[in-house]
Chains A and B, each alone.
Chain A
Amino acid sequence: MILLEQISKSYAGGKVKAVSGLDMRVKPGEIFGFIGPNGAGKTTTIKMITGVLRPDEGRVVIDGIDMGQDPIGAKGRIGYVPDSHDAYDRLTGTEYLDFIGSVYGVPLEERRARAETYLNLFELAGAAGDLVRSYSHGMKQKLLLTGALLHDPPLLLLDEPMVGLDPKAALLLKQEMRARCDRGRTVFFSTHVLEVAEKLCDRIGIIYGGKLIAVGTLAELRSGDAGASLEAMFFELTERGGRDAG
């Protein structure tokens, strides 16, 4: 579903290397957790996958479509929720969903059915007619999630999706993620909450200093140490990564 081949990205005219030579493959039907400390390159990688940023080198392929060759085709297969929660503040929730439905070309009946499903699921239907600017942080997150799910994308890309969500909404989102993967859809998300990654993900990638330092199932990451928690492994791997870099 996602193929990243040697992608790199620098900022400040090449002075800051955010992501360096990243190779990764995510299969259909997988929940893939992307973890790493602050400034490790998680958001930059996600933005390159969505086409918001262009890699300096390498290529991104989504569902067999090269993002560099056919960005519109590739973007049409992604539902994306950024970590910033910036939506159009002066639209109502319904207008935002209608806009997203139109730009993704979702047929009217499907649009209505999915909007109702997710607005009810996230208990947002009561506020759907209000301006987004009146929403709380969590409500904006729920609206962006509903928008990202509106076209039933083969790939759902979420940057820190649990931030701002109340416990019930977080649980519902986790259930939805699992249900999607059971239907052969793919979910790729970044998180700081290692417990969520540990319980939810089929595979996990750990990024540090712009490089993928580990990737695999939880069992593969544990390798010899069967009892190790993801938290312990994360600290060990990132500290080792820091020493190697130093």
Chain B
Amino acid sequence: MKLWRQFWLLFRLFFRTQLGLSVARDAARRDKKALFKFAGIGLAVAVGVLSILLTYGVILFSLMWPASQIGIGAAVLALIFFLCMGLVLILGTVTMITMVFGARDAELYAALPLSQRAVFLAKLGMAYLLELLPTLFLGLPAVILYAVYTPVAWWYWIAAALVLPLLPVIPMALSALLAALLMRLAARFKRREVFMVVGGLAIAVGAVLLQGQFNAFFSSVFADEAAVSAMLQDSAEALRAMTAVFPPVGWAAGALTAEGLSWLGQLCLFLLSAAAAGGLALWLGGRVFYRGALAQLETAPGRSKGYNRASLGASSPLKALYVREWRMLLRTGVYALNALTGIVIFPVMLVFMPMMGGASGDMSELLPLLEGWAGPLLPLVAAGLMLLPALINPAATTALSREGRQFWLCRSIPVPMRTQALAKLLCSWSIALAGVGLIFGAALLALPIPAADLLCGLPVAAALSFPVTALSMLPDLLKPKLTWNSESEAIKQNINSLTGMLLALAAVLLAAGIALPLALFLALPDPLTALVLTVLFAGAGYGGWRLVRALADGPLEAREE
């Protein structure tokens, strides 16, 4: 079979599976009600996208119109292209790592008479399609609005038709190279999960630090009045500043907005750079894809261990379940990554953002204001900060879904479901507690909040994190997603993650709504207020556990598979 025929065959397959078209069609065929469900979801998505598009359009209009009046519309267009490429770089890295580095289907395709170049090309094509959507979403309105407010030549639309679809190519090539590098390392050291967790956390931390760098960069640019004045007077100056950061952005914007014949040169430069980057990614990916993907299926060398008598130790069912929960969580890359990101990211943000000109300025201005307004407010703000990881706790929101095909074991072991649910709750709470502790440490180190206030907030946050965790578990206990093909599906493509987080957020807002007036009404010294709130939230924790227990004894005991 020719390369392009193979590519087309695979691309259609990926298109149907990635977008869930086959599942939707099958469900609709089996049950007519499912058709309405999918139509409803589609409608909700369309309404959501349209409302965001409308909001974005209004923001863009309010930016483009005055910019065009003073002759710097091209700078705004370049800024939008810059955003498009940055977004694709972040989203594309996640997509490429999931589709290429995290590919579970490599073994299947390797056994078929298909060239690895065709498989990689199809995966890259699918990833490109997924990234093209946000690019068009952001870029197309900007291209249209620019043409509305600035007189454009005939070639503007030709250049736009060439540039816009190719905007994702260069950042995607960078993402593909990163994925290829990860695969090469994982193939060499056979530690795929470790690379996934460490690499994922590094990318997340890197993204935060990069954002901080951008903040610092733009702060310094805008601090320089002469530079700002030059940029406000001349689009070319703004384009030069952006080209210095990332040249293809300048070429892409220049291809549409440059005067004379120089647009042609800029267009050629952009097309050549896109072709070179895309070609390099294809060439490299086509050579190392199978080798990397299949090597990941191998186990690490020299690790085979025999039976060790001492490793068997007696423990209670609850402890055994709790330990098993932790082991499964930490040893499954995508679980560990999702469960630990929150407790890593928030402390990193707290520590590094102030150093890069981020939140510290606002915080230092805000603190005296808060201190002057009410005594117990600062410990409550500190407790709220410490609770951030508990709000985004996928370990809790997908606690039961992660059992998947192993749910038969939960059903067949002689341990009540309430004990199994308690083990899951304690494991998830441990993560929330670790988050509380780490943010406490980071705040102590980096934020201008007095240590006494942080200390008062600590037990309040620790106590409140228990009912918050319990509440965020409820949707998953009620309706777990036990049928999935990849672990990523269990923890990321799971609606319970979202509903659980919303419940957690509602719980924290409710707690804040109760705690603040109560603290003001009591007018006690801060440590005593903290004690009262801790006892109150511990009571709420008992209520949370009762809810979990009720679901475990009821729907969960009755659930079969």
Known interface pairs A52-B411, A98-B313, A103-B415. Does A129 touch B307 (Cβ–Cβ under 8 Å)? yes
Cross-chain contact of A102 among B299, B319, B327 (Cβ < 8 A) = B319
* A90:B332 contact, CB within 8 angstroms: yes
* A125:B319 contact, CB within 8 angstroms: no
B146 CB to nearest A CB, Å? 52
User: Among the interface residues B315, B405, B406, B413, which one has the most CB atoms of the partner chain A within 10 A?
Assistant: B413
* B308:A129 contact, CB within 8 angstroms: yes
A78 within 8 A of B: yes
* B312:A130 contact, CB within 8 angstroms: no
In the bound assembly, the distance between CA atoms of A190 and B185 in angstroms comes to 46
Cross-chain contact of B331 among A90, A101, A127 (Cβ < 8 A) = A90
Question: Quick one: closest B residue to A107, CB to CB?
Answer: B314
Cross-chain contact of B304 among A80, A94, A119, A126 (Cβ < 8 A) = A126
B62 within 8 A of A: no
| A121-134 Cβ-contact flags toward B at 8 Å (1 or 0) | 00001111111001
* B324:A99 contact, CB within 8 angstroms: yes
* B331:A87 contact, CB within 8 angstroms: no
* B305:A130 contact, CB within 8 angstroms: yes
Question: Quick one: closest A residue to B298, CB to CB?
Answer: A134
A128 CB to nearest B CB, Å? 4
In the bound assembly, the distance between CA atoms of A72 and B413 in angstroms comes to 8
| B300-335 Cβ-contact flags toward A at 8 Å (1 or 0) | 000111111101111111011101100110011000
Give chain B residues whose Cβ lies under 8 Å from the Cβ of A5: none
A82 within 8 A of B: yes
B513 within 8 A of A: no
In residues 364-416 of chain B, which contact A (Cβ within 8 Å)? Answer: 405-406, 408-409, 411-416
* A102:B314 contact, CB within 8 angstroms: yes
* A103:B321 contact, CB within 8 angstroms: yes
* B304:A86 contact, CB within 8 angstroms: no
* B299:A130 contact, CB within 8 angstroms: yes
A97 within 8 A of B: yes
Question: Quick one: closest A residue to B31, CB to CB?
Answer: A12
In the bound assembly, the distance between CA atoms of A104 and B558 in angstroms comes to 21
* A72:B416 contact, CB within 8 angstroms: yes
Give chain B residues whose Cβ lies under 8 Å from the Cβ of A39: none
In the bound assembly, the distance between CA atoms of A105 and B316 in angstroms comes to 7
* B412:A53 contact, CB within 8 angstroms: no
A229 CB to nearest B CB, Å? 34
A161 CB to nearest B CB, Å? 15
| A72-112 Cβ-contact flags toward B at 8 Å (1 or 0) | 11011010101010111011111101111111110110011
A217 CB to nearest B CB, Å? 29
In the bound assembly, the distance between CA atoms of A129 and B506 in angstroms comes to 44
Give chain B residues whose Cβ lies under 8 Å from the Cβ of A84: 405, 408
Give chain B residues whose Cβ lies under 8 Å from the Cβ of A76: 414
B560 within 8 A of A: yes
B561 within 8 A of A: yes
The size class of the interface chain B forms with chain A is 35 or more
Known interface pairs A72-B414, A75-B412, A126-B304. Does A111 touch B320 (Cβ–Cβ under 8 Å)? no
Give chain A residues whose Cβ lies under 8 Å from the Cβ of B561: 52-53
The size class of the interface chain A forms with chain B is 35 or more
In the bound assembly, the distance between CA atoms of A126 and B413 in angstroms comes to 27
* B304:A130 contact, CB within 8 angstroms: yes
B421 CB to nearest A CB, Å? 14
Give chain A residues whose Cβ lies under 8 Å from the Cβ of B405: 84, 86
* A102:B305 contact, CB within 8 angstroms: no
B199 CB to nearest A CB, Å? 19
A91 CB to nearest B CB, Å? 6
Known interface pairs A97-B312, A126-B304. Does A50 touch B413 (Cβ–Cβ under 8 Å)? no
* A75:B299 contact, CB within 8 angstroms: no
A142 CB to nearest B CB, Å? 13
A116 within 8 A of B: yes
A180 within 8 A of B: no
Give chain A residues whose Cβ lies under 8 Å from the Cβ of B316: 102
Give chain B residues whose Cβ lies under 8 Å from the Cβ of A102: 314-317, 319-320
* A126:B306 contact, CB within 8 angstroms: yes
* A130:B412 contact, CB within 8 angstroms: no
A140 within 8 A of B: no
* B313:A94 contact, CB within 8 angstroms: no
A51 within 8 A of B: yes
B263 CB to nearest A CB, Å? 56
Known interface pairs A84-B408, A88-B328, A130-B304. Does A111 touch B414 (Cβ–Cβ under 8 Å)? no
Give chain B residues whose Cβ lies under 8 Å from the Cβ of A107: 314
B442 CB to nearest A CB, Å? 30
In the bound assembly, the distance between CA atoms of A216 and B414 in angstroms comes to 31
Give chain A residues whose Cβ lies under 8 Å from the Cβ of B558: 54
Cross-chain contact of B320 among A87, A98, A115, A128 (Cβ < 8 A) = A98
* B324:A88 contact, CB within 8 angstroms: yes
* B327:A73 contact, CB within 8 angstroms: no
A46 CB to nearest B CB, Å? 10
* B328:A91 contact, CB within 8 angstroms: yes
B85 CB to nearest A CB, Å? 38
| B85-120 Cβ-contact flags toward A at 8 Å (1 or 0) | 000000000000000000000000000000000000
Cross-chain contact of A101 among B303, B308, B312, B319 (Cβ < 8 A) = B312
Question: Quick one: closest A residue to B315, CB to CB?
Answer: A102
In the bound assembly, the distance between CA atoms of A145 and B164 in angstroms comes to 59
* B309:A112 contact, CB within 8 angstroms: yes
Give chain A residues whose Cβ lies under 8 Å from the Cβ of B312: 94, 97-98, 101, 108, 111-112, 115
Cross-chain contact of B303 among A99, A128, A130 (Cβ < 8 A) = A130
B314 CB to nearest A CB, Å? 4
Give chain B residues whose Cβ lies under 8 Å from the Cβ of A92: 305
In the bound assembly, the distance between CA atoms of A50 and B407 in angstroms comes to 13
In the bound assembly, the distance between CA atoms of A119 and B307 in angstroms comes to 8
Give chain A residues whose Cβ lies under 8 Å from the Cβ of B324: 88, 91, 95, 99
In residues 57-73 of chain A, which contact B (Cβ within 8 Å)? Answer: 72-73
Give chain A residues whose Cβ lies under 8 Å from the Cβ of B331: 90-91, 131
Given A90-B328, A129-B308, 9 additional A-B pairs, CB 8 A: A72-B414, A84-B405, A92-B305, A94-B312, A98-B312, A102-B316, A105-B317, A112-B309, A130-B299
A-B contact pairs, 20 of them (CB 8 A): A52-B560, A54-B558, A76-B414, A84-B405, A86-B406, A88-B409, A90-B327, A99-B320, A102-B316, A103-B320, A103-B413, A112-B312, A115-B312, A116-B307, A127-B304, A127-B306, A129-B305, A130-B303, A130-B304, A131-B331
Q: Across chains A and B, which 7 residue pairs bring their CB atoms closest together, nearest first?
A: A129-B305, A102-B320, A76-B414, A128-B307, A90-B331, A75-B414, A108-B314
